[in-house]
Amino acid sequence: MLKRLLCLLMILLVALPFAHAEDGLVVYTDDELLDMMAAIPEEGEEDNSAFLVLPEDIAMPEGNTYTILLVGSDAYDDDNRGRSDTMILVQVDGDDKTIRMASFLRDMYVKIPGKGSNRLNASYIWGGHELLRRTLETNFGVTADAYVEVNFERLVKVIDAIGGVEVEVSEKERQQVNSILRFYNEKIGDAVEDQLLQESGLVHLTGKQALCFSRIRKIDGDVQRTARQRKVLEAAFHKVTQLSMAEITMLILQNMDAVQTDLTIADAVDLIPLALRCKNASFETLSIPVSGAGHHTTVDGMAVIKPDLKKNQKALKEFFGLE
């Protein structure tokens, strides 16, 4: 009985964040939502989503686009910010059911507002997502509606929360996954041989394996590394959109603390219909700098990439359909 009452509260909370206090409705904070959610699994129900019945009047939007900046830092835990190892601007386009992902190579030498010029990932070290977003806008003319940041620990947790991902892995990549995984296991205190990848081909990756796959760079370069990161994101998106709206809502509520973001729980739930509209979406990808619009050089002893800003701005404008 207690479980049903708590779930009823949760159903109301999913709907109420969009109301205003002046309407006479109570608006709960994210912390209050998470506190209530924490009590639900305690009674041993295996599939809590069965209790979550969302309002029938939630409509799938006819269109709209939403842009999120995904940041992956190279910090092993939350005590350090780390460098922005991964920067991907993702546009979810509900009009033509397309997901567009543009990766920004971390070694690009760009102007950082208030800091002079340096590698792109330095902006995140100095000013977090706020300065990174200003840097991307200053140099490339792109903005994001929100940001989501994960470090190594959080990425593992998020991928495991959705049950892992299916990704095509070559034999060379498998060997590199295991090499990186041994180092990672030792770093976090796990058994060195834990979760080593045994096969290549289309394989099921756990959180740790997906992290190590996303970090491969030695066998090729940063362009290919960012392509692997987009493969993991695409696989994760397909995995999540196979769930029902109720199941996705439960997933968000139980794992919101696994990421850093300026999205509230209400914001995240509000985006579910748009994501479900794009469950069979096509994926388009871009890597910045685009081919022929950047060159490798050395600045103050640093190996960097100097991008041709005009060419890359033009490519991004066309890619995202910006006016």
Q: What is the mean pLDDT of each run of 10 residues along the chain (323 residues)?
A: 40 38 45 48 43 43 77 64 76 92 95 95 91 96 92 83 94 96 92 95 95 89 86 90 83 80 85 84 94 95 95 97 82
223 and 119 share one domain: yes
245 domain residue, yes or no: no
- In 3-state terms, the chain is what percent helix, strand and coil (to 5)? 45, 20, 30
Could you tell me if 299 and 215 lie in one domain? yes
Q: Are residue 54 and residue 76 in the same domain, yes or no?
A: no
Residues 28, 99, single domain; the answer is no
Q: What pLDDT is attached to residue 77?
A: 54
Half-sphere exposure of 225 (CA within 13 A, CB side): 21
Same structural domain, 315 and 187? yes
User: How many CB atoms within 10 Å of residue 114?
Assistant: 11
201 and 146 in one domain? yes
Q: Are residues 44 and 74 in the same domain?
A: no
CB-facing half-sphere around the CA of 166: CA atoms within 13 A = 4
Q: Strand 65-73 vs strand 146-150: parallel, antiparallel, or unpaired?
A: parallel
pTM of the model: 0.78
Distances (CA, A) of 242 to 136, 230, 275, 276: 33, 19, 11, 8
Q: Determine the structural domain holding residue 74 and report its residue range.
A: 65-240+279-320
Q: Are 148 and 8 part of one and the same domain? A: no
Q: Of 317, 314, 310, 295, which is closest to residue 108 (Cα–Cα)? A: 295
Closest of 290, 172, 161, 155 to residue 214, by C-alpha: 155
Q: How many domains does the chain have?
A: 2
Identify whether 174 is part of a domain. Answer: yes
**248 domain residue, yes or no:** no
Which pLDDT value is given to residue 54? 43
Has residue 39 been placed in a domain? yes
Regarding whether 87 and 25 lie in a shared domain, the answer is no
Q: Residue 170: inside a domain, yes or no?
A: yes
Question: Would you say residue 253 lies in a domain?
Answer: no
- 122 and 185 inside one domain: yes
pLDDT at 16: 38
The answer as to whether 255 is a domain residue is no
Looking at the structure, tell me whether residues 41 and 11 fall in a common domain: yes
84 inside domain = yes
Q: Tell whether 50 and 193 lie within a shared domain.
A: no
Nearest CA to 184 out of 147, 212, 221 is that of 212
